[in-house]
Amino acid sequence: MEVWGITHRGVVRQQNQDAFSARTMDDGRVIALVCDGMGGARAGNVASAMAVDLFMDRFLRESGDDQERMQRAASQANQEIFQKAATDEDCTGMGTTLVAALAGAGEAVILNEGDSRAYHINGDGIVLITRDHSLVEDLVERGELTREQARTHPHKNLITRALGAEPVLLADCFRQPLAQGDFLLLCSDGLSNLVTEQEMLYEVIHGGDSESCPQRLLDIALHRGAPDNVTAVLIRC
């Protein structure tokens, strides 16, 4: 397992409120997560950084069932962000998305809250694993918007769930089979709003070496004006 990641504030934003972490564990598996903060000039940055640090610290200290480890790590991060938002005036209303993946031989366990995404990519194509917790995704599922209309909808950034928004976390969990040569791509909406799935597929499979793929994806977003922060983490089996 190998992993590479990149984050950038984009062209418009003055501050990067995205955060990520990725590491290869002693058993060879990779644990990685991407968080996209919200809640004002300072607070979004605080929420995403807290989520990354708290999740990784708790997850790496524990053992046992992988899904339960991830859920406990995310729940602790949620509780501490919620508490800080409730007690620190500068952080009122803050929160963050979270998408995390634990990838090993044969399978990945993926956890998500908000609209940061996880994709499974191989020579057969690209599949979105996670479901956005967002207003436009709800409209798409009800048949009120097409997928293409959702990409340009004025409220596409309104999320319905986030770490720190509620005292109890209700994150979704997925199990994704993995084969040798498969990839997982984790990203914030600063990437997925500007780079199409077909472009992601091309860059991962055909665009060049895997190590530089996150930079290539970032470059596409920057070329298109990158109005939001951009983060991409690529895991190769």
Domain-wise residue ranges, the chain = 2-236
Q: Which residue has the tokens 């499979």?
A: 205
Domain 2-236 fold is Phosphatase 2c; domain 1 (3.60.40)
Give per-residue pLDDT as tens, 151-188.
777 666 778 889 998 999 989 999 999 999 999 999 99
Q: Angle at Cα 53 formed by Cα 48 and Cα 58, nearest 5°?
A: 130
How many angstroms separate the CA atoms of 221 and 108, rounded? 27
- What proportion of the chain, given as a percentage, has pLDDT over 90? 78
Residue type, 188: S
Give per-residue pLDDT as tens, 75-118.
999 999 999 999 998 888 899 999 999 999 899 999 999 999 99
- DSSP label at residue 211: G
Alpha helices in the chain (DSSP H): 43-61, 66-87, 135-141, 147-151, 189-192, 197-205, 213-223
How many angstroms separate the CA atoms of 193 and 195, rounded? 6
Across-strand partners of 226? none
How many angstroms separate the CA atoms of 207 and 183, rounded? 14
Q: How many CB atoms lie within 10 A of CB 24?
A: 15
pLDDT score recorded for residue 159: 85
Q: What is the pTM of this model?
A: 0.93
pLDDT score recorded for residue 145: 73
Of 146, 105, 112, 91, give the one whose Cα is nearest residue 36: 112
How many angstroms separate the CA atoms of 43 and 79, rounded? 16
Beta pairing, strands 183-187 & 230-236: antiparallel
- Collapsing DSSP to helix, strand or coil, 212 comes out as helix
Q: Assign residue 24 a region: left if phi > 0, alpha if psi is -120 to 50, beta otherwise?
A: beta
Q: Which two tokens stand for residue 143?
A: 């048949």
